[in-house]
Structure 1
């Protein structure tokens, strides 16, 4: 039975989708049309599209926009020809891509576009980042993003905004990953990556120009159970520099409440980094960042205080595993020696899971002070949130009690 089950993941499914697709928007002023072409690759001498959808047995097809532009009110969508994940060049396929491989890389690029000024790595698993890091060189950014959550990165998709060099490739090859995407690969890198025969290696040249995709909008379609559709324009963060933040301030029952301390330059840097990473995390979400590296990422929860606690707990767990791996090349979960475990526990406790001095980021307002206090009790020194709660004054008071600073973005960042 187990062999039969495992075989379904190796099977290649054909799809019944046509080579072209049109989407028409019709109103009294006429018709606007988007024209798409199905994407296929040469795999072993055959033209093949997506391996399957979210699960084996689900037919799927990838389409790229080749013609048309939609203008809805004051919104004009992205023009054809500016391709990223919809038109990857497969340098090594192993098992050719399925739907999740493409959407994970797309989710990574959605975050990566904001950080093209420095080497940055985004590792994504199931449409959420497991680790994001900016560093002085690609190999260091990859290592820090990986160690932010080494366990969750297993089988993930990696996007790096710089040419992958030998040092970075060797680090990648030490791990099990499904996909790696970059604008280019230095000579000899593909020889190293070819040792991972099932790794999909993608070249996306437009990663070099990712900053051109900041602020561009596309149409986002969501299918309903009854076959209906919801169409929305894609989310675009308005806070792109520190001057776009506003110091937390509100009025409640005729009394004004304001944050006492302004952020330091380092805090502003992490605030901006964290807010832009947050835009690519599934709601409800709270994340912690420090020194432009994610420390704990909480995703997809129903209550805000709960997701703040999950992100906190993950920070502790991931630091235990990182220290265990760096010292003994053994995961925390496999480390048996009690003395070593105790030493690691003490170090993680001393550092509070890396949360001391970190920035806490929330994709929506904190409805009560208990949410923000989860981070403040761990040594968080700065908080980013949209603001707008009837009890914003409680969160402001909490931050002032801990001598922490807080800024509002004035924009919610839900992602579903």
Structure 2
């Protein structure tokens, strides 16, 4: 039987944890003569506002019990939500058992995600798992031929507009949209619970894993114009592009978001107390990263690594954007600038750049915060821990006759940190706290070494220098050198110290080549593949 289109709302059940907008919604429903059922704190709030409310306990004949765990799990609630109004048997059962139809369910769930985010203990988290709410939501959503289910405060206005437009009724299309949102909400809720529980009981690879997100933006297209795309947030609140405030410019594109995330995750590696730092990203790879005495100096030093690639790139800063830095950035076209903060002068300068997007996040991301990363493959999903690996000077193993200087060690660790954010095979040349050559995403490590050196030479010529920027530099390799040829390419470019994981079958051969070249080399015992 085809589902009926317009359906009136005569009776509603309102029971929410997030009480924002509840009184205003109930007042509008009451003005339409809709009977309102409610529970607990929601009922109390509505009565205090002068709205007539019937307790669910009065409908079921049972009081709320077991600390509120049992209040809506009753046939007179679920029967009112699930009954098919055009089914004679259902209608007869309702009449026989005194079940009144419920045409509108407004429920949002116990704040489980917020409870976990606050670091609550296990028992507190368990108590914040909603049972009756998801059960009612799923029942109402299943019966969307007749029942409206609202699970988000953001949908209150749409509900009121629908009732206004249709003289107190709703269309099937509207109820279908509400039902889809409702099922997504309960799925996301269950995903949050199962993900938390897997971690709480020490199961890093549970047999089943659920994923969920909340729509933040619909994109004009994805990586290419023929691909549909959208941006979803995961609710973790991690500082970055997902939480940033956009101050100006058109909406971010799919590629903008991907690249901005890469830029901010990289610059967040450098704590403000260690000094100003800047990262410039193009196509998810850094084309320049540097420290400086000021943010402006850090930007200019990063820019001088590869000015050509920096054009139309993404710039991330680890401190408050100031006027001097904004003026320097304004000298070329930039897609996005992201920083924890921006002062008034910087915003005023950028206001003249209508195509530039300025984002502020309020904080840097924690580069050592454990989290999961996901990548879809055909028929499945790859899940792993985020690469939060770090090494300190004390953990480095010098394997050559030549010892690195303190200054070289600082640059080696800087290069190693940048390398974690460069697509494999990755080679990064650094001198005096700034990248001077980056080779990314090549099938051969030798090619990465040579490409980075070639870019360095081109940049030196553009700056009017007689020697490549890589002369006297240090170099980082994200994985071991399988042969000495990649190392020698770096030596030919002018590198005088090397940092790499080690662990190759030919480590002895590579170490011998480094000794013969008279350079220092350290092993980290850790690699940073990024595919």
TM-score (normalizing by structure 1): 0.76
Of 227, 252, 259, the match for 1:104: 259
Question: Following TM superposition, by how much is the alpha carbon of 1:217 offset from its aligned partner in structure 2, in angstroms?
Answer: 2.6
The equivalent residue for 2:147 is none
SS at match of 2:234: strand
What is the alpha-carbon distance in structure 1 between the residues aligned to residue 386 and residue 370 of structure 2? 5
For 1:186 and 1:223, the matched residues in 2 are separated by: 40
Contact 1:130 1:149 in 2 (8 A): yes
Are positions 1:387 and 2:528 aligned together?
no
Higher relative contact order at CA 8 Å, sep ≥6: structure 1 or structure 2?
A: 1
Contact 2:401/2:520, CA 8 A, preserved across alignment: yes
Counting matched residue pairs gives: 337
Residue 238 of structure 1 is aligned with which of 374, 377, 390?
390
Work out whether 1:300 is the aligned partner of 2:441. Answer: yes
Aligned: 1:409 with 2:524: yes
Distance 1:89 1:401, change over 3 A: same
Distance in 2, matches of 1:222 and 1:36, equals 15
Q: Secondary structure at the match of 2:239?
A: coil
Pick from 53, 56, 62: which aligns with 2:225? Answer: 56
CA distance in 1, matches of 2:518, 2:207: 58
Deviations along 1:350-386, one digit per CA (max 9) or x if unpaired, are x2x1112101110111111111011112331100110
Question: Is 2:465 the partner of 1:309?
Answer: no
Displacement after TM superposition at 1:30 (Å): 9.5
Superposition pairs for residues 105-184 of structure 1, below 5 Å? 105-116=260-271, 117-184=274-341
SS in 1 for 2:228: coil
Partner of 2:244: 88
Q: Which has the larger radius of gyration?
A: 2
Task: Quote the Cα distance in structure 1 between the aligned partners of 2:329 and 2:275.
Answer: 19
Deviations 1:134-156 (A, max 9, x none): 00000111111112111101110
* Kept in 2: contact 1:237–1:276 (CA 8 A): no
Query: What secondary structure sits across from 1:217 in the alignment?
Result: coil
CA–CA distance in structure 1, aligned partners of residues 514 and 345 of structure 2: 51
| Uncovered stretches (5+) of structure 1, i.e. residues with no partner | 1-15, 41-48, 67-79, 249-258, 324-343
Aligned ranges 1:212-361 → 2 under 5 Å = 213-224=366-377, 226-239=378-391, 241-248=392-399, 259-321=400-462, 323=463, 344=464, 347-348=465-466, 351=467, 353-361=468-476
1:107, 1:127 within 8 Å by CA — same for their partners in 2? yes
Per the normalisation by structure 2, the TM-score is: 0.60
Give the match's secondary structure for 1:62: strand
Distance 1:81 1:33 in 2: 19
> Is 1:39 aligned to 2:216, yes or no?
yes
- 1:183-242 Cα offsets, whole Å, 9 max, x none, are 1111222221121111111011122xx4xx122232222122x34222222212231x21
SS state of the match for residue 115, structure 1? coil
SS in structure 2 at match of 1:151: helix
* Structure with the bigger percentage of helix: 2
CA RMSD of aligned residues (A): 2.3
Assess if the C-alpha contact under 8 Å between 1:51 and 1:96 holds in 2.
no
SS in 2 for 1:59: coil
Name 1:254's counterpart in structure 2. none
2:491·2:517 contact (CA, 8 Å) conserved in 1?
A: yes
| TM-aligned CA deviation for residue 282 of structure 1 | 0.3
Task: Measure, in 2, the Cα distance between the counterparts of 1:65 and 1:174.
Answer: 36
Show structure 1 runs of 4+ deviating over 4 A: 16-21, 25-35
Q: Any conservation in 2 of the 1:121–1:132 contact (CA below 8 Å)?
A: yes
Instruction: Note the C-alpha offset of 1:34.
Output: 5.6
Which structure dedicates a bigger proportion of its chain to strand? 1
Cα drift, residue 83 of structure 1: 3.1
Deviation at 1:82, TM superposition (A): 3.0
Partners of 1:107 and 1:244 in 2: how far apart? 27
CA pair 81-34 structure 1, distance change in 2 beyond 3 A: farther
Cα gap change, 1:206 to 1:404, in 2 (>3 Å): same
Task: Provide, for residues 264-312 of structure 1, a one-character-per-residue CA deviation record: whole Å limited to 9, x for no partner.
Answer: 1100000000000000000011111111111110010111112111111
